[in-house]
Structure 1
Amino acid sequence: MAQRALIRWYAGLWMILGLVPQAMGVWDRPDDIKFTTLAVLAVLALTYPITGSSPGGPAARRYAYLGVLIAGTGAVSYLMDGAASLLIVTLPHFWIFAGSPRRAVVLSGAATAATVAGNIVQQAPDGKVLTGNVIATLIGYAAGSLFGLWMHRVVGQRDERARLLAADLEATQRQLAEAQRRQGAAEERERLAREIHDTLAQGFASIVVLAEAARNGIAADPERSAQQLVSIERTARENLAEARVLVASGAGAPAAPAGAAPAGAAPAGAAPASIAGALRRTLDRFTEDTGLTVTAELPEVDCDRTARIALLRCTQESLANVRKHAAASTVGVVLERHPHGIELEITDDGRGFPAAEARTAGEATGFGLDGMRRRLAELGGELTVTSSPGDGTRVLALIPPHPGSGER
């Protein structure tokens, strides 16, 4: 677009500075010379929009236009005893429409020769050959050719730089797309690993513990063992449902993150409708499977779907750690809403562990506390673990408010 606008501006200047002065200069000449010259100038003016207005047009039309220019400048030079100014103003036409520097030099040279020839033929009766007009024509042609070659080189270098920049940009875009693809794949693998840990792995761990208890107590307390077998069956069914959800999610099917865990908080693959209800079901299953005493303060708290899943997963992971490591007798769970967000506190009276170990527990366990921290961090929240040997453990999850986000 910029090139087209520049060519249009030049065409206007060519007519104003090239054709109009010639028409004014011939006005006081004899009628035959005046009208013939005006006719030639009119042909030049009309030929441009008809055949030469597009540098990218058909070659035959462009070369026909340049041929008219060559003949026209020679005719005007003959009629007006020279046309150096018209030739000099006309030279850019050859560089615009010739298609290559070599053709531009040759064709503009032909126009120069026609102009010089017209002037020489007109001045031949007087014996004048090397007139001022001829000298100006030759100097104008030489200067125009040098300037055109220099501009062609400058434009070529600019185009080459633009081509290299475009190639670099394309390569950078490909690298960025590949990096984003790898990052997306890594994030998806991490998400699936975290979901597997929080659902299937915890479920299988629960099945192992219940199976061992049922096997050891089947003779002494068959009723309790039967109850544990029921829990094993239920947990296995829930794990199967969770596995189907994860497979659908990994295959690209639109599946919601699982809202239920092996502890039975909610239907597999669905977000719990009520976080308080989901936590109660989780705690009931935990009490049923472990026999530990659980105290809970679980008021109804309004939060979006993602926050409900995060709080549920934090509870499941904390209870799994209590079962595996704490040797506790009592567990307390408190859910509260504050102006600064939703807090979930889980405490136990177990053996505890050093505070330094609490700070690095996520790195040691891979997907345990570290997975909880990542879930909360995605929501702008944080996880605090406080513990010391013999004093139990306190896990505090905080999710800041997100007005208007998520579904209810």
Structure 2
Amino acid sequence: MEQRPRIEDRFRLRALRRWYAVCWVVFGLCPPLIAVHDRIDATKYGTWAAIALAAGAFALRTALPRGLVGRPDAFLCVLVTVLGVTAVLLEGGAAFLIVSLPMFWMHAATARRAITYTVVATVATLAGNLAHPQPSPGNAVFTLIGGAGGILLGLLVDRVIRQADARARVLSAQLRRTQTELAEAHQRQGAAEERERLAREIHDTLAQGFASIIALAEAARNGIASDPALSVQQLRSIERTARENLTEARVLVGSAPGSDAGTIARSLRRVLDRFVEDTGLTVHAELADIACDQPTRIALLRCTQESLANVRKHANASTVSVVLERGATGIELEITDDGSGFSPREARGFGLDGMRRRLAELGGELTVTSSPGEGARVFAALPANDRI
């Protein structure tokens, strides 16, 4: 049979071991002392000495598990000897043996050694009983029954413990595998969220800038012969937009700081001025001087840029209105146009979804109201959260 950890080490229920120790003292050590307390011959003192030896060995085993006397084999050898001696002195020791049987399984290094100690203790007790001038047949029978029962019960408990250990190892392996899979899932989720964030940032910054560059370049090429001054202005806008795109690209890869600090109104004013310069549309703006943190400012700025890009590409509008104010629940941004409008339910694309997700990450929401021929209204609301 293969080597296994000592049952004492594997049997972790300390409270149960303490209760058994108490029961062993009360029902194993005390009865022999009581049986000889009124005798005055050598039997009394021999029994007391044997019980004291067993108690002392057990105490050392418990207190000094790594000491010479505290080694399990030393303690079990002492216990076997005491069982044999008390069987001789007390005309049998079946009860003491039966109470002591768990000791062999708790302290032996292997099941095989536990069985060996049980057999030796049974033989010693039986020999002690037979060596007495008046042996007790009943005590001998109980000794044999107790030894056999101790072996069977010990093997059963040992098997249960082995099965429990096997299940624990399986569950531990499953737990480690699940933890690994969970860590990988978190890693994949983090990568997916990062890709989504980059895609949103690219769409709201670089893609819009490139679309503006393309539109301005086409206009400059078409008007270079008829209106050179306007083409020069458009080329300057292309250069400025390209520089801004380069700055945004550096921000995305982490090689440059984010957008400059300031109020959201100042940032929106620059965006609107560029929009008017590039498109020639009429823009009415009411921008309250609201201070906010960087995430809120960027979210509102990106919503404005996306909305204006949609107006430029799809609305065919002549007038755009932008209102920024502090409402009852937080910061509110409203962008309306008098263009051709659309059906929000049928709208497809990354822009609106990107705006909704960006605001949702900050606890805000986006409302889009429009219908064909009726223009469009984009309303963004963000909770204050002590941002000002």
The TM-score with structure 1 as length reference comes to 0.86
Check if 1:226 corresponds to 2:232. Answer: yes
- Over 3 Å counting, the alpha-carbon distance change for 1:13 and 1:55 in structure 2 is farther
Give the residue type in structure 1 aligned to 2:303. Answer: C
- Over 3 Å counting, the alpha-carbon distance change for 1:342 and 1:360 in structure 2 is farther
Residue aligning to 1:99: 109
Q: Is the 8 A contact 1:55 1:97 kept in 2?
A: no
Residue aligning to 1:109: 119
Residue aligning to 1:286: 275
Cα-Cα RMSD: 2.3
Secondary structure in 2 matching 1:27: coil
Following TM superposition, by how much is the alpha carbon of 1:167 offset from its aligned partner in structure 2, in angstroms? 2.0
Distance 2:265 2:81 in 1: 95
Distance 2:231 2:67 in 1: 91
- Over 3 Å counting, the alpha-carbon distance change for 1:359 and 1:304 in structure 2 is farther
Following TM superposition, by how much is the alpha carbon of 1:312 offset from its aligned partner in structure 2, in angstroms? 0.8
Q: Is the 8 A contact 2:322 2:335 kept in 1?
A: yes
Residue aligning to 2:385: 403
Residue aligning to 1:157: 163
Secondary structure in 2 matching 1:346: strand
Secondary structure in 1 matching 2:325: strand
**Per-residue Cα deviation, 1:245-298 (whole angstroms, up to 9, x for no partner):** 1112xxxx8x77xxxxxxxxxxxx226421111111110111111111100111
- Over 3 Å counting, the alpha-carbon distance change for 1:168 and 1:299 in structure 2 is same
Percentage of identical aligned residues: 60
Residue aligning to 1:322: 311
Following TM superposition, by how much is the alpha carbon of 1:236 offset from its aligned partner in structure 2, in angstroms? 1.1
Distance 2:331 2:345 in 1: 22
- Over 3 Å counting, the alpha-carbon distance change for 1:28 and 1:83 in structure 2 is same
Q: Is the 8 A contact 1:76 1:83 kept in 2?
A: yes
- Over 3 Å counting, the alpha-carbon distance change for 1:228 and 1:54 in structure 2 is farther
Residue aligning to 2:356: 373
Check if 1:80 corresponds to 2:90. Answer: yes
**Per-residue Cα deviation, 1:143-196 (whole angstroms, up to 9, x for no partner):** 222222222222222222222222222222222111111111111101000101
Distance 1:360 1:31 in 2: 108
Structure 1 residue ranges without an equivalent (≥5): 257-268
Give the residue type in structure 2 aligned to 1:376. Answer: L
Distance 1:225 1:70 in 2: 109
Q: Is the 8 A contact 2:63 2:70 kept in 1?
A: no
Check if 1:121 corresponds to 2:127. Answer: no
Q: Which has the higher contact order (CA 8 A, sep 6+)?
A: 2
Structure 2 residue ranges without an equivalent (≥5): 1-10
Q: Paired residue for 1:243, among 246, 249, 252?
A: 249
Moved more, 375-384 or 229-238: 375-384
Following TM superposition, by how much is the alpha carbon of 1:79 offset from its aligned partner in structure 2, in angstroms? 1.4
Residue aligning to 1:10: 20
Following TM superposition, by how much is the alpha carbon of 1:99 offset from its aligned partner in structure 2, in angstroms? 2.4
Residue aligning to 1:131: 137
Secondary structure in 1 matching 2:132: helix
- Over 3 Å counting, the alpha-carbon distance change for 1:371 and 1:82 in structure 2 is same
Q: Is the 8 A contact 2:62 2:70 kept in 1?
A: no
Residue aligning to 1:265: none
Check if 1:172 corresponds to 2:178. Answer: yes
Check if 1:359 corresponds to 2:345. Answer: yes
Distance 2:93 2:329 in 1: 87
Following TM superposition, by how much is the alpha carbon of 1:302 offset from its aligned partner in structure 2, in angstroms? 4.0
The TM-score with structure 2 as length reference comes to 0.90
Aligned length: 378
